[in-house]
Structure 1
Amino acid sequence: MDDSDHHRAGFETYARTGAARRQLLAAVTPTDGTERVEPRRADGRVVATAIDADRPVPRYERTTVDGYAVRAGDTFGASERSPASLRVTDTVRAGTATRVHTGSELPAGADAVVPAEATDRAGGDLAVFEAVPEGRNVKAVGEDVAEGQRLFEPGRRLRPSDLGLVRAVGHGPVEVYDRPRASVVPTGEGIVESDPATGETVETNGRTVAQYIERWGGEATRREVVSGGADAVRAAVERDLDHDVVVTIGGTSVGERDIVPDVVASLGEVFVHGVALAPGRSAALGAVDGTPVVMLPGPPVGCIVGAVQFLRPALAALGHASPTPHPTTEARLTRKVPSEPGVRTFARVTVEGDGEGTRTATPTRTEGAGALSSVALADGWVVVREEREGYAADEAVAVEEWEGCA
C-alpha cells in the first residue's frame, strides 16, 4: 500500500502521513523577504545569497608546530648520528634558524620548520637531528580556503562553525531569508493561563508549539485561547492570514465542539482531516487565501507529534531550507511495541546504556495522546511505520531524538 492509500477507522478516511505532508508542502510558498545580518547574529539563519571567501585562509604562510624556521636545504642529511649545525638568529639565511611558534608567520627566507623536539639548542648554536623537505610543517597561503572560493550556497542553514569560517574569510554581514512568521491559536473551553479551577486546564500546547517554532527557525506569535464558537475561531484565523502559516490547536476531532476544520473549510480549503498517525489522528491541514493552516489536535502528545510531522517541514519549506534528519540512537527494546497496521505509530522510550556501547530502549507509552509526561520524560521515540505490526522485545530499533534537532 502506497502513501496515496487511506486507512479507514473512526474518521471516514485517514490519509497516510507521507501523502498528507506532501499536500501541505504543495500549498507552501517560500518567503521572499531577506535581510543582512552580522555573522554573530546569523546562527540558524538560512543563506539567501551565496557566500564567497573575501580573503584566503591562511592569509600568510603559517607554521604548524613549535620549532625553528629554516631553509630546508640546510637540513639535508641531518640525523641523530650526524646533526646539522645552525646558528639561531632573528632572520633566516644560509646556515641560520629562527625560533617560531605554532600559528606564527613563516619568516622571510625560510621554507620549512624543524620541530623543537628534533633539535638541541645550546646558546646560539642549534643541532638539528631531522631533515625536513621544503614546505614541511608550513601551511601555504589559501591552503584551507582560497580567495573567492564558494563557501555556502543559498538554502544552507548556518551553524556556529559556519559562522566562524565566515569571519575567518573576512566576510561582513550575510544575506539571509526572513524567518517564517507563524501564528499559534489555541482553542477550547476551560483553558486558562494559570491557576486552574476544578474543570479547567492550564494552557500548555500553545506555549510548547510556539517554542518549537522558534527552535525550528520561525517567529511565533502566540495568541490567547479562542473560545466561544465558530465566529470567534473564524475571526482568529482571518486576523492572522498575514502570517506565513497559521497553526490552530484543538477542536479537530469529531465532537460537537470540534469546529476548527469546518471553519477553515468555510474560509478556504481543508485537504486533509484525519491522518493515520498515532497519536495525532485528528490532525487537519488546509489553506486560506494562500496561507497554509496546520490544525493540530488538542491532546498534548498528539499535538507535538503533529507539529513535528507537519509544521516543522512546512516551516523549513517556507524558509527555503530542508529539515535536517533527526539524530538517532540504535538500541534494543526491553519489551514489545505494538502497532496497528496502516498507522504510523510513535512510541515514546527512555534509553539506557551499559557504558560499553550497548543501549536499551524502554517504552514509556505506546498509546494515548494526552500524557504529556510520556514525552517530557522520554529520550526519544521509536517510529513504527505503516507496513509493520509493531516491534518485538529485544529487536534493534532506531530511537529518534526528535527534540534535539532544529
Structure 2
Amino acid sequence: MNGADRDRTESGFKSRTRLEDAREILEAAVSSGASENDGVSKFEPAPEPEPERLGLPAADGRVLAEAVRAIRDVPHYERAAMDGYAVRAADTFGASARSPAVLEVVDLEDESTAADPVGPDTAARVHTGSELPAGADAVVMVEHANVLEAESTSGARTAVEITDAVAVGENVAPIGEDVEEGQVLFEAGHRLRPSDLALLRSTGVSNVAVRPKPTVGVVPTGEELVHREPEPGEVVETNGLTVSQLIERWGGRATYRDVVTDDRDALRVAIQRDLTKDVVVTTGGSSVGERDLLPEVIDDLGEVLVHGVAIKPGYPVALGIVEDTPVLALPGYPVACIVTAVQFLRPLLRRLEGAPVDGDPHATTEARLERKIPSDIGSRTFARVRLEGSVGDNEEGEESERHEDAAEAPTAIPTRTSGAGVLSSVALADGWVVVEESLEGIPAGETVTVEHWEAHP
C-alpha cells in the first residue's frame, strides 16, 4: 500500500456533506457544466438534446419538450348534455306540471324535415352527446317530458308535454366548453399520463415532441461479484441490476455492464467507455478501504465533487464529473446503494429529462410507529418499515392527510434501522421513514410519514 492509500484508508471520512448541500453541488455542476478549480472552468455545458417526436401511445410516461396546444375545440359542435328533447326555450316559457307546454315531436331522420328541424312548437328527441339540431337552443330533460300519442288526418303523430321551462342554453354543451382551440393543454416539462393522451387525442393532437430519455451506463464493480451460482467468498451481483431497473422506471435508458474488478486501469476504461452516456453510475468501491478505488479514479479522470454524505445508510457515496458527464459512485452495500440512487440519481434523471425535480414526490402514507427508530444526530436516517392495518396510500405522490383518530391509522413496523447490506430489509418493506439530522430518533407511538420510494412515478 502506498502512502496515499494508507492515508485514505486510515483517516476514513473526516467530514460528511449534508444531503441538501451534496444535491446542490451536483445540480450546480450539471446545470452549469462547470467545476471551478483555481478560478478556471474545466467543463463546458452539454448541448441541449434534440427532442423526439412520438405518436401518442409511445409518448406515455415521457416528458414534453415543448408546450402542446389544442388543435380543435372540444366539443367541436353544440351537443346535448342530457337525454331529453331539443326545443326552442321560448316555447317552454311558463310550462309546469299543471300547465304543460305541448310540442310536436319531429323525426330528425326524416329526409322531408326542414333545414331547421326544430321550429316553433316542435321538439326533437336527443341523447347525451347528440348534436343539437338546428333551430333548437335548449334541451328539456326526459324526466320533464311526457309523450303523448294523437291522431290526425295525416295519421298518427307524437307530441310531448313539457312540465318544466328551460332557459336558452340549458342542458346544452357549447362549442369549446371543455377545451378551446389553441388552448395550452400542457407546458414543457410535463410528464404525460394515460389520461393526458386521451385529452390530446380528443383535441386533434396526434404526436408530441418529448425530451429524449437520459442514457445511463451502469457499472457494477468488485472482484467478488458474479452473475452465476456463487462459490464461497463470491457474491451474486444485484446492485447493478437494481439500479438499472430503477433507471428504466424513472424514465431513463440503462446499459447494464458486466462486473469490473477492483483494478485502477480496468475501472478507468469502464468509466471512459460510458462517457458518451448522459450519466455514469458505478456500484461498489466508493468508500475508503484498500479496494475502494473509484473516488481516486474519478478524480484522476475529472473531479470528485462530494465524497461522503451525512445519510444513513449510504454515507460513502461519491459524486463527480468527468468530461462533462456526471459520475455517481454508489456504495456496494445493497441498501446503501438503493438509498443513494433514490436520493441522487432519481432527481438527476428528472433534471436531465426536463421534468420538475421537486414536482414529483414519492407517494406517502401516514402511520403510527410501533417501535422507536434510533438515529444519530447529524445524519439523515432512512429507516425501512412495513405497514400493517388500513393503508391509505397517496397514489398521486402528494402529502397524505393525517388520520384524525390514531387508532385508525396503519402501523409502521421497522424492519431494520441499521444493516446497509441486508437487502431483504428493503424487499420486505413497504417504504421508509426519514429521520431528520436534528433528531435523535423517533419514539414509538409517533405519527410518521412513510415514503413509498419504490412505487411507480
* TM-score, normalised by the number of residues in structure 1: 0.95
| 2:420 maps to 1:403 | no
Structure 2 match to 1:35 = 52
Task: Give the letter aligned to residue 375 of structure 1.
Answer: V
> Aligned partners of 2:292, 2:170: CA distance in 1, in Å?
73
Structure 1 match to 2:88 = 71
Greater shift after overlay, 301-310 or 363-372? Answer: 363-372
> Aligned partners of 2:422, 2:118: CA distance in 1, in Å?
73
Q: How does 1:119-268 map to 2 (within 5 A)?
A: 119-123=145-149, 124-268=158-302
> Aligned partners of 2:235, 2:82: CA distance in 1, in Å?
64
User: CA offsets, 1:235-291, max 9 Å, x none?
Assistant: 000111011110000001121111111111111100111111111111110000110
Task: Give the letter aligned to residue 336 of structure 1.
Answer: K
| 2:363 maps to 1:327 | yes
Task: Give the letter aligned to residue 372 of structure 2.
Answer: K
- Secondary structure of residue in 1 paired with 2:146: strand
| 2:118 maps to 1:92 | yes
User: CA offsets, 1:50-109, max 9 Å, x none?
Assistant: 211111111011112111111111122222222221121123111111111111111111
Task: Give the letter aligned to residue 386 of structure 1.
Answer: E
2:336 to 277, 302, 308: 302
> Aligned partners of 1:301, 1:183: CA distance in 2, in Å?
20
Greater shift after overlay, 287-296 or 90-99? Answer: 90-99
Alignment length, in residue pairs? 398
The alpha carbon displacement at 1:405 in A equals: 3.9
> Aligned partners of 1:310, 1:405: CA distance in 2, in Å?
17
1:377 to 417, 424, 428: 428
| 2:147 maps to 1:113 | no
Structure 2 match to 1:21 = 23
Alpha-carbon contact 2:284-2:332 (below 8 Å) kept: yes
Task: Give the letter aligned to residue 13 of structure 1.
Answer: S
Alpha-carbon contact 2:49-2:211 (below 8 Å) kept: yes
- Secondary structure of residue in 1 paired with 2:454: helix
Structure 2 match to 1:6 = none
| 2:445 maps to 1:389 | no
> Aligned partners of 1:373, 1:87: CA distance in 2, in Å?
75
Alpha-carbon contact 1:327-1:405 (below 8 Å) kept: no
> Aligned partners of 1:162, 1:139: CA distance in 2, in Å?
21
- Secondary structure of residue in 2 paired with 1:295: strand
Task: Give the letter aligned to residue 270 of structure 1.
Answer: V
Alpha-carbon contact 1:28-1:317 (below 8 Å) kept: no
> Aligned partners of 1:366, 1:321: CA distance in 2, in Å?
32
Alpha-carbon contact 1:88-1:99 (below 8 Å) kept: yes
The alpha carbon displacement at 1:228 in A equals: 4.6
Task: Give the letter aligned to residue 342 of structure 1.
Answer: G
The alpha carbon displacement at 1:321 in A equals: 1.1
What percentage of aligned pairs have identical amino acids?
A: 59
> Aligned partners of 1:216, 1:262: CA distance in 2, in Å?
29
Alpha-carbon contact 2:384-2:415 (below 8 Å) kept: yes
Task: Give the letter aligned to residue 368 of structure 1.
Answer: G
Structure 2 residue runs of 5 or longer lacking an equivalent are 1-10, 32-45, 108-116, 150-157, 392-406
| 2:71 maps to 1:54 | yes
The alpha carbon displacement at 1:354 in A equals: 4.2
Structure 1 residue runs of 5 or longer lacking an equivalent are 1-8
> Aligned partners of 1:354, 1:291: CA distance in 2, in Å?
45
User: CA offsets, 1:214-253, max 9 Å, x none?
Assistant: 1111111110011151111110001110111100000011
Structure 1 match to 2:315 = 281
Alpha-carbon contact 1:332-1:359 (below 8 Å) kept: yes
Structure 2 match to 1:342 = 378
* TM-score, normalised by the number of residues in structure 2: 0.84
Alpha-carbon contact 2:262-2:291 (below 8 Å) kept: no
Alpha-carbon contact 2:262-2:285 (below 8 Å) kept: no
Q: 1:320 to 1:354 in 2, by over 3 A?
A: closer
- Secondary structure of residue in 1 paired with 2:169: coil
> Aligned partners of 2:198, 2:30: CA distance in 1, in Å?
32
Structure 1 match to 2:41 = none
Structure 1 match to 2:412 = 361
Task: Give the letter aligned to residue 22 of structure 2.
Answer: A
Task: Give the letter aligned to residue 335 of structure 1.
Answer: R
2:14 to 12, 15, 18: 12
